[in-house]
């Protein structure tokens, strides 16, 4: 005899009820947890920017961010200004201060600008917003810019802190789904630290970027003007992704730094 659960009508009703129950459960979970998740993401951005500027609680080989209870206060005092540059056709066409940007965008902080969306805008031919965070560490002014690109499996992103000569003073890289032990090592301290002191511009002021190079003949990265850092074993495509995103996104800030130089000279 056919069981009740084998009937077609039962199967259809079961499927519909199951989809409704699971759908509502997931929707309820997502909406009730959204405020907490957004807050965590906001804190993370602040921690990452401060990390690139050299503010952290690192010990020898670890990566320790400023703790979540202190990060908001620290961000307020150490990041003196947040600029939003508008970039189109190789030029910076406008410059907004933090307050101007917030007034025009319902109070949204510039550090929450979605770089991925801005890249898509630029592809459509629209102006692209470039956030730049200006802060101080040990008496020196650091300029921190966000970068965003593609690794082997998924997105990679980060923040690069440079001085007014576009010499790297700190980095932070992160990824959505690179392979643990291989591409995911872009988030390791030894990889990020290698970028310190690397030049982005040639002596003539031409932007060159930094290559994550296989067989780099300088494993301790002592030559800081060779535009190369040592690659990670087994992570060629992720490494190439890091080089590409530095080249693509940091290159856009060059006109700003040239202006800055001219102003100070």
Partner 1 sequence: MGILSKKDSKLITDPLADNNPITIQVLGICSALAITAELKASLVMGIAVMFVLGVGNVVISLMRNIIPSKIRIIVQLIVVAALVIIVDQVLKAYAYELSKTLSVFVGLIITNCIIMGRFEAFALGNGPWRSFLDGIGNAAGYALILVAVGFFRELLGSGTLFGYPVLGDAIEKTGVYSIGYENNGFMLMPPMALIIVGLIIWAQRSRNKDLIED
Residues in contact with partner 1 by CB under 8 A are 5-6, 10-11, 14-15, 18-19, 22, 25-26, 29-30, 33, 36-37, 40, 43-44, 61, 176-182, 184, 219-220, 233-234
Smallest separation, CB 131 to partner 1 (Å): 22
Tokens matching residue 180:
């643990």
Q: Which is nearer to partner 1, 163 or 190 (CB)?
A: 190
Q: Measuring CA to CA, which residue among 202, 191, 252, 196 is closest to residue 226?
A: 202
Other C-beta atoms lying within 10 Å of the C-beta of residue 21: 10
**CA 138 vs CA 53, 54, 106, 196: distances in Å:** 10, 10, 34, 16
Q: What does the alpha-carbon distance between residue 22 and residue 19 come to, in Å, rounded to a whole number?
A: 5
- Measured CA to CA, the distance from residue 83 to residue 126 in angstroms comes to 19
In the complex, what is the shortest distance from the CB of residue 189 to partner 1, in angstroms, rounded to a whole number? 10
Beta strand pairing call for 211-213 and 228-230: parallel
In the bound complex, what is the minimum distance in angstroms from residue 109's beta carbon to partner 1?
A: 19
Q: Which is nearer to partner 1, 205 or 234 (CB)?
A: 234
User: What's the closest the beta carbon of residue 108 comes to partner 1, in angstroms?
Assistant: 21
Nearest approach, Cβ of residue 241 and partner 1 (Å)? 16
Pairing of strands 168-175, 79-88: unpaired
Q: Determine contact, residues 169/145, Cβ cutoff 8 Å.
A: no
CB of 194 to partner 1, least distance (A): 11
- Nearer of residues 72 and 93 to partner 1, judged by Cβ: 72
What distance in Å separates the CA atoms of residue 7 and residue 2, rounded to the nearest whole number?
A: 8
- Return d(Cα 260, Cα 263) in angstroms, integer: 5
State the minimum distance, in angstroms, from the CB of residue 76 to partner 1: 21
Euclidean distance between CA atoms 72 and 51, whole angstroms: 13
Please, which residue, 86 or 226, has the CB nearer to partner 1?
A: 226
Q: Which residue lies nearer to partner 1 by CB, 61 or 204? A: 61
Task: Identify which of residues 61 and 203 has a Cβ nearer to partner 1 in the complex.
Answer: 61
DSSP string, 31-89: HHHHHHHHHHHHHHHHHHHHHHTT-S---SS---PPPHHHHHHHHHHHEEEEEEEEEET
Our CB check for partner 1 shows the closer of 18 and 120 to be 18
């Amino acid at each position: 005899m056919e069981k009740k659960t084998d009937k077609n009508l039962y199967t259809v009703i079961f499927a519909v009820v199951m989809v409704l129950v699971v759908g509502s459960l997931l929707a309820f979970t997502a909406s009730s947890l959204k405020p907490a998740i957004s807050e965590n993401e906001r804190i993370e951005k602040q921690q990452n920017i401060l990390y690139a500027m050299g503010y952290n609680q690192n010990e020898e080989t670890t990566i320790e961010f400023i703790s979540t209870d202190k990060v908001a206060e620290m961000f307020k005092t150490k990041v003196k200004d947040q600029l939003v540059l508008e970039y189109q056709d190789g030029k910076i066409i406008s410059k907004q201060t933090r307050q101007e940007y917030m007034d025009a965008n319902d109070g949204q902080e510039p550090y929450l600008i979605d770089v991925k969306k801005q890249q898509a805008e630029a592809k459509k031919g629209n102006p692209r917003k470039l956030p730049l965070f200006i802060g101080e560490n040990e008496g020196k002014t650091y300029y921190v810019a966000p970068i965003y690109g593609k690794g082997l499996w998924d997105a990679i992103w980060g923040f690069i802190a440079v001085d007014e000569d576009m010499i790297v003073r700190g980095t932070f890289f992160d990824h959505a789904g690179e392979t643990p032990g291989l591409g995911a090592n872009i988030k390791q301290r030894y990889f990020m630290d290698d970028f310190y002191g690397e030049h982005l511009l040639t002596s003539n002021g031409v932007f060159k970027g930094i290559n994550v190079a296989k067989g780099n003949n300088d494993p301790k990265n002592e030559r800081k003007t060779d535009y190369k850092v040592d690659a990670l074993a087994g992570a060629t495509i992720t490494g190439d992704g890091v080089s590409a995103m530095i080249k693509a996104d940091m290159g856009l800030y060059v006109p700003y730094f040239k202006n800055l130089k001219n102003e100070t000279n």
